Amino acid sequence: MGDVFAWLLFFFILIALLVMIVFQLMCLADLEFDYINPYDSASRINNVVLPEFITQGVLCFLFLVTGHWVMSLLCVPYLYYNVRLYLRRQHLIDVTEIFNLLNWEKKQRLFKLGYIILLLFMCLFWMIFNALEEDEHSF
């Protein structure tokens, strides 16, 4: 039973990650179409960058401690990338150069989005798989 709850937890964490990334993408898109000024856009995005990194790190850690080391391994490249960005101090958006980096920032977040969605589906699969297994056992 615990496994199902664990997967459910992972699932919600992933959803949270997804929301944060989509939010950043939306800010960037708004900026591109001039609905928002670069100052607001940058500060909004920067506000969620660290939470996103931390959430992702926690997720990776949780996978590891719950023994789902394959999933944990899958999270590692993402984590490594984030850590590298952070160490190089490139994780925050630079408001002065935001327009020159717009395409790159968008591309980077789109990749992250795809990655998260992939994880989400795997998580969903395992959750359902576990739930069905539990069901079988309960008979």
Partner 1 sequence: MGTENPNPPSYPVRPAATPFAAMQSTPPFLSSGPVAGSESSSFRPVPPASSQFRAPPFSSGPVVGSEVPAFRPPPSGRSNELVGPPPSSSSSSSHGPPAAGFQRFPTPSLPSVGHAVPQRTGQPVLSPTTRPAAGTVASPPISLLSQPQPPSIPMGSPPPSMKTGQVNGNIPPPAHQLLSSSRPNVQPSSPPVRPSYVTTPGISQATIPGYVNAQPNTVAQAQPMQPASFTLQQRGYAPGAPPTPFLAQQRSVNPPSLYSGNQMQHHVVAPPTATSPGLAEDFSSLSLGSVPGSFNAGIDNAALPRPLDGDVEPKSLAEMYPMNCSSRSLRLTTSGIPSSMSLASRWHLPLGAIVCPLAEPPAGEEVPIVNFVTTGIIRCKRCRTYVNPFVSFTDNGRKWKCNICSILNDVPGDYFAHVDASGRRVDLDQRPELTQGTIEFIAPAEYMVRPPMPPLYFFLIDVSISAVKSGMIEVMAQTIKSCLDSLPGYPRTQIGFITYDSTIHFYNMKSSLMQPQMMVVSDLDDVFIPLPDDLLVNLSESRNVVDAFLDSLPSMFQDNTNVESALGSALKAAFTVMRQLGGKLLIFQNTLPSLGVGRLRLRGDDIRVYGTDKEPASRAPEDPFYKQMAADLTKYQIAVNIYAFSDKYTDIASLGTLAKYTGGQVYYYPSFQASIHKDKLRHELTRDLTRETAWEAVMRIRCSKGVRFTNYHGNFMLRSTDLLALPAVDCDKAYAAQLSLEETLLTMQTVYFQVALLYTSSSGERRIRVHTAAAPVVADLGEMYRLADTGAIISLLSRLAIEKSLSHKLEDTRNAVQLRIVKTLREYRNLYAVQHRLSGKMIYPESLKFLPLYGLALCKSLPLRGGYADAQIDERCAAGYTMMALPVKKLLKLLYPNLVRVDYSVVNLSPQTDESNIIRKRLPLTADCLDTRGLYIFDDGFRFIIWFGRSISPDVVRNLVGEDFTGDYSKVSLSPRDNEMSRKLMKILDKFRESDPSYYQLCHLVRQADQPREGFFLLGNLVDDQNGGANSYADWILQLHRQIQQNT
Binding site for partner 1 (CB under 8 A): 31-32, 34, 37-39, 89, 92, 94-96, 98-100, 102
Shortest gap between Cβ of 128 and partner 1 (angstroms)? 44
- Residue whose CB is less far from partner 1, 31 or 60: 31
Work out how close the CB of 95 gets to partner 1 at its nearest, in angstroms, rounded to a whole number.
5
If the CB atoms of residues 48 and 98 are measured against partner 1, the closer one turns out to be 98
* Axis crossing angle, helix 2-32 with helix 38-65, rounded to the nearest 10: 160
**Residue 5 in 3-state DSSP?**
helix
> Closer to partner 1 at the Cβ: 90 or 125?
90
Q: Which residues contact 109 (CB under 8 A, 6 or more apart)?
A: 21, 24, 25, 28
Compute the least distance from the CB of residue 94 to partner 1, in Å: 6
Residue with tokens 């459910």: 8
* Placement of tokens 């969620």 in the chain: 48
